[in-house]
Every structure is written in C-alpha cells, then in structure tokens.
Structure 1
Amino acid sequence: MGQHQDVYFVPSKSQWPIVAAVVLFLTVFGAGHWLNAEPGESGFGKTFLLIGFVGVLAMFFGWFRAVIRESLAGRYNAQVDRSFRMGMMWFIFSEVMFFGAFFGALFYARLYAVPWLGGEGHGVLTHQFLWNDYAAAWGANGGNGPARIGGSFETVPPWGMPLLNTLILLTSSVTVTIAHHAIKDGHRGRVLLFLGLTVLLGASFLYFQANEYMEAYRELNLTLKSGVYGSTFFMLTGFHGMHVTLGTIMLAVMWLRELKGHFTRDHHFAFEAVAWYWHFVDVVWLGLFIFVYIL
C-alpha cells in the first residue's frame, strides 16, 4: 500500500505501466502491418490493432480509476497537486509542438514548395522541365500539371460548416469556463448544466466535421490523394478532430464524476486540467480556420 508522506505521495506497485507498454506496442505493431499489407491480404495487422486498441481503452479505464480512488481517499497533498499541474502544462506544451510541426509543413508548402514549382526563385528549372504548366496558386491543384495525377479538386469554402464549427467551439469555450466558475462557487447544478452543454457542443463539432469530410470526398474530390493540399488539410483537421474526440470523452467523464460528487470547491484539478486541454483545442482550431480555410 502507498503511504501518505508530508512531502509526496508514493503509490504502491502498479501493473498499469507495463500493461500500457504492451497494449501500445500491439496497437502500433498492428497498425504498421495493416498499412503495409499487400492489397487483398488480410494478414494479422487488423487483429493486433483491434486487440491493442481495446487494450488501450481498458488500460486507461483501469489506470484512471486507480488514480481517482487515490484522490478520493485524500492521499494527494499540495506537492502532488503541483506536480499534476506541471505535468499537464508540459503535456499541453508537447501538443503545441505536435501541431507546430504540421503547421510548419503547411507554411513550407505554401511559401516555398508551391512557388518553386511555379517557377519562382530556385524553382526555375523544375518548372521548365517538370511542371511547365503548373499554376503556382495555393490549393496546389496545378492546372494541367498535378491535376493529371490525382484529378482536379475544389477546396472547402470557409463560410459554411467550418464557420459553424468555429462558432460551436468558441461557444464551448464559454460554457466550460462557466462550469469551472460554478465549481469554484459550489453550484453543482450549474456545473452539470454547462458541462453537459460543452459535451454536446463537442459532439456537434465532430458530427459536422464528419459531414464536411464526406462532402469533400463526394462533391469536391478533395481526398488524401489530392496533392500536398489534401494531405495537409486532412492531416491538420483530422488530428484536431482526434483531439476534439478525446476532449469530449474527457469532458463526459468529468460530468459523470461531478454527478457522483467527486469535486469540491478546492479540489477539482481533474476538471481544471480537462478545461485547459479544451481551451488549447479551441485555440488550435482558430489557427486552422484562418490558415487552412480562409487564407
């Protein structure tokens, strides 16, 4: 059993770290084999991926349940609380770097690669001998150049579903902030109301994004094969959608914990950490809306 210490709480031995290592290995191993399998081959990649994915879900459920029990037992002191806050800050920083790499790829393609293919700067010879009919306009559809390979496509207009999703996420940032203040004030009913609204707004965002993807594939011929524009578009918006999915799940868990009375005015960092994460997701979307959809 872990012992409560004046400086720091040291938990008892846990099986969850090794379980996490095994199931994450199975997930990546299965995904790698599935993606590299020859067409028509079933292989064992899907099986390992499914086992690993289910294992990851079970690992999160079991490990978080253990942490929640330790918290409710009063084993976490002020030093542990500070370490949790620092850990969440570093996690969000790592996410900033994660999206920063993808935004960097987007900016490089727009500011350097596409103009070079169009004959600007160092790309004169490339344009002359390889893509002499390439139109150096973002979207990288290339007129009669790369369009011959993947087919011409249209970009997603920003003032439809992207604008609606922007308003949804901005609204969700307001509702989660109201819920946070309600926890501090001890208004449990208000917390459940506005936190529930935040979960619904997150789910609505995912619904409209799924519809946007279907429209892009069916109506605009915008796919992952649509050159650098298609790959960066789906890479950035897809990873963001994955983060919204995780954030919505975490918010739903916070709603259930609040329903069970786990949080108090002074002890609710789990909710606060999820709120930080949600605000980060909203800020990333604003960058996507501006640099992917509008400009």
Structure 2
Amino acid sequence: MSASPAASSGKYFVPSPSHWPLVGSAALLTLAFGAVGSMNSLPWGLPVLGAGFVILLIMLFGWFGTVIRESEGRLYGKNVDTSFRWSMSWFIFSEVMFFAAFFGALGYARLHSVPDLGSVDAKMLWPDFAGTWPTAGPFIKEVFSPMGAWGIPAINTALLLTSGITLTIAHHALIAGNRSKLILWLAATIVLGAVFLTLQIYEYMHAYSELNLKLTTGIFGSTFFMLTGFHGFHVTVGAIMLAVILVRAIRGHFDAEHHFAFEAAAWYWHFVDVVWLGLFVIVYML
C-alpha cells in the first residue's frame, strides 16, 4: 500500500468531525446518574448505571475502531505518531503519580502516623497500642494475619516477570515480520496475566476467610487492598489492551514500521510489571 499524502508529506492529519465525543459525554452523564441512584438504593439506579456502561462500551468500540481504520489507511504521518507517543507517555506518567500517591499514603502511615499513635505522648489515650507495623490501628481490636510474601504473591511476581519476557519476544517477532510467533507469544502474555488475576482473586478469598484480613481491617487492610486492588484493575485493563492487539495481529494489522498501538500496550504492561515489583517489596516483604 502506498503512503497517503498525509503520511508522506509529514503534514498533520486533521480528522473529520466526529459524534463519538458526544456519545462519550452521554455515557459519563448516564454513569453519574446511575451511580448516585445506586448509592441511594433507588430502584432505577442499577439499570441506569448498566445503561451507562453499555453506552461507554459502544463509544469505546466505535471511537477506537475509527482510529484503527484511519491508522491502517496510513492517514497518520510522523507528526501524529509523535503526538501519540507523547500522549501515551503522559498517560503512563499520570498513572505513576496515581500509584505514588497510594505508596505515599502507606509510607506516611507506617513511618509517621502509626509510630506517633504508639508514642509516649499517646499512651494516655491508647495505653495498649504498640505502634508497630503491621497493625489495624488503635481503634480496631480484631486479630488478623498479614499476607505472606512467599506464597501466591511470589508466584504472581514470577508470572508478571515472565509475561514481560514473553511480550518482549512478541515485539521482536513483530519487528522481524514473524506473525505466527508474534501471535503465539502475545497470547502467552495474556494467559499469564489471566492466571495472575485468578490467583489474586484466590488470594483475596484466602485473606477474608482464613486470615481475617479485610478492607475494613484498619490502616493495614485499607492500604493493602487499595494498592493490590488498583494494581489488579490495571492488570485487567492491560490484558484487555493486549487482547485487542492480539485480535488486530490475527487480522494482519501492524508491520515492522507501523505498530505504535502494540508499543503503547507494551509500555503499559511493563509499567504494570514495575509497579507490582514495588508492591511485592513494600507491601508484602517489608
């Protein structure tokens, strides 16, 4: 396929007017009303919330489908490719700040709040509180056990590190033009992510049923489930992204010079891997 004038001249591609932003706005408004109704136990809350998710999915499929068709039509030149790369970079940076805030909250609790509550000055209020980690805090008296590092968390660490390797192999296969190898190793990456999520669900069930470790278990439970839960959500999003890339690869999309969508999903997946390493060390081991 010969390059389009936009791609060959380096001019910036200007898309035609689109209705998808309006559909996305309608989805967000519907989700907001549905969420408010659901939180107030109103009978129409859940149906409206479900409708909002349906509209959002329609928008995502439609808008991304338009971008894919434009990309495969070689309408995007170097300037658009550069803007995509900057956009994905800033998005991942925002995700870094997202997790940095939660790691900061955990660090502040462990290094400042908990020791202060167990200090000599606070003994008049909580004479039996030691102020050591792990703890649920001075208010919650339930006994719980923290999640050990050398069970499922260690296995999940090995799974995610392996998935980073399989994804890199798939990337090299794409650059080399080996589509069957690309599909094989990309599918293996998705499977590893799915196994990770399955084991995390089992870990949560084990924490609730046998360790008495819950979201309501004070500062330890809230920070544990906040960090690991949001990470699991990001693994889910990353797996969905890779699944879309897999379908596109099977349909013959991408080549050695034209595959930023694959790179964007790979960047996100490697970011998820790095965050998990931080979680494993700080949340499980320390």
Query: TM-score scaled by structure 1?
Result: 0.91
Residue 19 of structure 1, CA deviation: 1.4
Aligned partner of 1:174 in structure 2 is 165
Residues 21-78 of structure 1, C-alpha deviations (whole Å, 9 max, x = no match): 221232244234423x2xxx44433222211122222211111100000011110011
CA contact (8 A) 1:154 1:220 kept: yes
Residue 133 of structure 1, CA deviation: 0.8
Specify whether residues 196 and 154 from structure 1 end up closer, same or farther in structure 2 by C-alpha distance, changes over 3 A only: same
| Aligned: 1:134 with 2:129 | yes
Residue identity in the other structure for 2:18: S
1:146 pairs, out of 128, 135, 139, with: 139
Residue identity in the other structure for 2:134: G
Aligned partner of 2:84 in structure 1 is 84
The total of aligned residue pairs comes to 280
Residue 6 of structure 1, CA deviation: 4.2
CA contact (8 A) 1:240 1:285 kept: yes
Residues 61-117 of structure 1, C-alpha deviations (whole Å, 9 max, x = no match): 111100000011110011111110010000000000111111110001000110011
| Aligned: 1:205 with 2:196 | yes
Aligned partner of 1:280 in structure 2 is 271
Q: Which consecutive residues of structure 2, in runs of 5 or more, have no partner in the other structure?
A: none
2:234 pairs, out of 233, 243, 250, with: 243
Which runs of structure 2 are paired with 1:7-22 in the superposition (5 Å)?
A: 7-22=11-26
CA contact (8 A) 2:174 2:255 kept: yes
Distance in 2 between residues matched to 1:165 and 1:261, nearest whole Å: 32
Name which structure has the greater RCO, CA cutoff 8 Å, separation 6+. Answer: 2
CA contact (8 A) 2:31 2:48 kept: yes
Distance in 2 between residues matched to 1:26 and 1:91, nearest whole Å: 25
Q: Which consecutive residues of structure 1, in runs of 5 or more, have no partner in the other structure?
A: none
CA contact (8 A) 2:136 2:221 kept: no
Distance in 2 between residues matched to 1:97 and 1:240, nearest whole Å: 13
SS of match in other structure, 2:133: coil
Aligned partner of 1:27 in structure 2 is 31
